[in-house]
Structure 1
Amino acid sequence: MKNYEEVVGIDVSKKSLDAYCYQAQVHKEFTNDITGYKSLLKWVLKVTKASKVFYCFENTGYYSLKLALYLSSESIVYVEESPLKIKRSSGIVKEKTDLIDSKLIARYGWLYREELEPSVVKEQSHLELGRLLALRDQLVRNNAGLKGTLKEMKVLLTSPSTDVGCLSLKRSIDYQEKQVKAIEQRIQDIISADASMSKNYELLTSLKGIGLVVACQLIYHTGNFTRFSSWRSFSSYCGTAPFKHESGTSIHRRKQCHYLGDRKMKSLLSMASVSAIQHDSELRLYYNRKLAEGKDKMLAINNVRNKLIARAFAVVKRGTPYVVLQQHAA
């Protein structure tokens, strides 16, 4: 991106876009729809003399996805960056408006243009997979809440089997469970339709502790294992990689996981680790050995999480299912 002469910082919200040209130092607001995108491109051509321009904006989920899809369809170079990275690079900012945010995004794009890489929209199957996984998670959480409410009502009522409220809750729970199953079936269809994803799914599920949800989440977050160069990079992304904390001669703390990371992925890996400890003899021995060394349970579980991540990347790279070595030992 170092050869570009102008960067347009865009603050994306639900209904509007605030665009700021860093070199031209001009600002204008547009609607967050196709009409607004076309007006934005015409405006940029009008106000800047630069021949090479790229666009920079924060990843805000569905709101920024529409813009990314349009720019990609027009073969326009853009960078979709993490909001946290832009915020941390901005220093101390005491005021917040859409105009200031767009200026800060443009400033970030210009200062880091030599390090930034153009963003690419994920394939349609990956986008749908992500939407379905998020929807499934929401339905499961909603259903857990309904089940908790039903359990409390049953304790209070003398005849819960005939109570209208209990019957209504049961119907809602049954309906949502059917919806979850339908979503899972659609997820499996998406995986099966893509040869590469289907192959990686089979490899991942050969690991004890990794089932449908964890395998699909791994495929989605890693871009089908193309986004991260190594398992250590993905471990850092999830927040399971330990880092040093030292300064001078007085501060020498033990390695700790950073609080920044994908909490959903970290939580799923924790549940997968607990399951793997129960069903995988090698990981169970490994976990018990860490406990015997004096490590607390959460630290030992984190070691198992990293083992699972390493195994997942290994089976995909090798292209063969995981084999438990102990069962072949003499």
Structure 2
Amino acid sequence: MKNYKEVVGIDVSKKTIDAYCYHGQVHKEFVNDIVGYKSLIKWVFKVCKEATVFYCFENTGYYSLKLALYLSSQNIVYVEESPLKIKRSSGIVKEKTDVLDACLIARYAWLYREELKPSTVKSMSHLELGRLLALRDQIVRNNAGLKGTLKEMKIFLTSPTTDAGCISIKRSIEYLTKQVTCIEKRIKEIMSEETSMQKNYELLTSLKGFGLVIASQLIYHTGNFTRFDNWRAFSSYCGTAPFEHRSGTSIHRRKQCHYLGDRKMKSLLSMASVSAIQHDSELRLYYNKKLAEGKDKMLAVNNVRNKLIARAFAVVKRGTPYVVLQQHAA
């Protein structure tokens, strides 16, 4: 992005977007819809004249997705950045307004322009996969809450089978269960519609502990294994990679995982690790070996998590299903 002469920082909210030209030092507010985006482009062209411009804004989910889709359709270069990165690069900021946020985004994009890379919109199937996975997770959590409520009600009621409240909750649980089944069916259809995605899904499910949900989540978060160069980078993204913490001679702690990371992905990997330890003889031996070395149980589980991530990237890179070596040993 170093060849660009101007950057427009955009603070995206639900109804409006605030744009700020870094060198021009001008600000204007637009509506967060197609009409507003067209007005934004015309305004930037008028203010910046012949200067080459790129746009930068924070990833705010659905609110920023509409803007990204429009800019992509017009072949306009933009960078969609993590809000945390921008916030931590801004220094001490005591005030917060939409105008100031747009200014800070523009400042960040200009200062780090040589390191930034243009963003691209994910395919429609990939976007739908993400929406379905998020919806499934929400429904499963709601269903678990209803099951807990039903369990508590049964304890205090003498005839829960005839109670109107229990009957209503049971019907809701049955309905949500059917919705989860429908969502999972659609997820499988999305996988089968794209050859590379279907192949990677089959490779991932050849691993012990990997089912539909974690395989789909891996494919989504890795951009079908195009977003990360290696498994260590993805481990860092999930928050399972240990990092050193030492300074001079007085501070020397053991390696620890950083608290920043994708908690959902980390939780799924934890459940996959527990399942793999039970059903995979190699990982069970590896886990018991770590315990015998005196390591804490959670640290041993984290080692298994990283093993699973390494295996997932290995089978995809190799293009062949995982084979348990011990069963072929003489």
What amino acid is aligned across from residue 283 of structure 1 in structure 2?
Answer: L
| Equivalent position amino acid for 1:325 in 2 | L
Structure 1 distance, partners of 2:218, 2:125, is 15
Instruction: Look up the SS of the partner of 2:41 in the other structure.
Output: helix
Residues 245 and 253 in structure 1, CA contact (< 8 A), matched pair in contact too:
yes
> So what's the TM-score if we normalise by structure 1?
0.99
In the TM superposition, residue 48 of structure 1 has moved relative to its aligned partner by 1.5
1:294-313 pair list within 5 angstroms: 294-313=294-313
| Runs of at least 4 residues off by over 3 Å | none
Alignment of 1:99 with 2:90, yes or no, is no
Q: Which amino acid aligns with 1:311?
A: R
Q: Which residue of 1 aligns with 2:61?
A: 61
- Corresponding residue of 1:264: 264
Task: Determine the structure 2 residue equivalent to 1:189.
Answer: 189
CA change 1:83–1:264 in 2 (3 A) is same
Deviations 1:161-194 (A, max 9, x none): 0011000000000000000000000000000110
What do the CA deviations read for 1:31-52 (whole angstroms, capped 9, x no partner)?
1000100010011011113421
Does 2:123 align with 1:123? yes
Q: Which amino acid aligns with 2:265?
A: M
User: Comparing 47-56 with 90-99, which one deviates more in the overlay?
Assistant: 47-56
1:1-330 to structure 2, matched below 5 A, reads: 1-330=1-330
CA contact (8 A) 1:5 1:50 kept: no
Where 2:260 maps in the other structure, the secondary structure is: coil
Once residues 119 and 38 of structure 2 are traced to their aligned partners in structure 1, the CA distance between those partners, rounded to angstroms, is 20
- CA–CA distance in 2 between the matches of 1:173 and 1:69? 37
Q: Secondary structure at the match of 2:159?
A: coil
- Tell me, in whole angstroms, the C-alpha distance in 2 between the residues paired with 1:120 and 1:50: 24
Cα distance in 2 for residues equivalent to 1:31 and 1:274: 48
- For residues 146 and 167 of structure 2, what CA distance do their matches in structure 1 show? 12
Give distance in 1, aligned partners of 2:43 and 2:296: 59
Say whether the 8 Å CA contact 1:239–1:260 is kept in structure 2.
yes
Contact 1:6/1:50 (8 A) holds in 2: no
For structure 1, which runs of at least 5 residues remain unmatched after alignment? none
Root-mean-square deviation (Å): 0.5
What is the aligned length? 330
Distance in 2 separating the partners of 1:15 and 1:128 = 23
**Residues 311 and 136 of structure 1: is their aligned pair in 2 closer, same or farther, counting only changes over 3 Å?**
same
Q: Distance in 1 between matches of 2:287 and 2:13?
A: 46
**2:140 alignment partner, SS class:** helix
Q: Distance in 2 between matches of 1:123 and 1:68?
A: 12
CA distance in 1, matches of 2:41, 2:145: 46
- Partners in 2 of 1:202 and 1:50 — Cα distance? 50
Give the partner amino acid of 1:146: L
Residue 23 of structure 2 aligns to a residue in which SS?
coil
Secondary structure in structure 2 of the residue aligned to 1:229:
coil
Which amino acid in 1 is paired with 2:245? Answer: H
Aligned mates of 1:49, 1:198 — CA distance in 2:
47
Normalising by the residue count of structure 2, what TM-score does the alignment of the two structures yield?
A: 0.99
CA distance in 2, matches of 1:270, 1:194: 28
Distance 2:164 2:37 in 1: 51
The DSSP-based 3-state class of the residue aligned with 1:284 is helix
**Offset of 1:25 from its aligned partner?**
0.2
Could you tell me how far apart the structure 1 residues matched to 2:50 and 2:88 are?
Answer: 28
The whole-number CA distance in structure 1 between the counterparts of 2:182 and 2:20 is 44
Query: Where do 5+ consecutive residues of structure 2 fail to align?
Result: none
User: What percentage of residue pairs aligned between the two structures are identical?
Assistant: 84
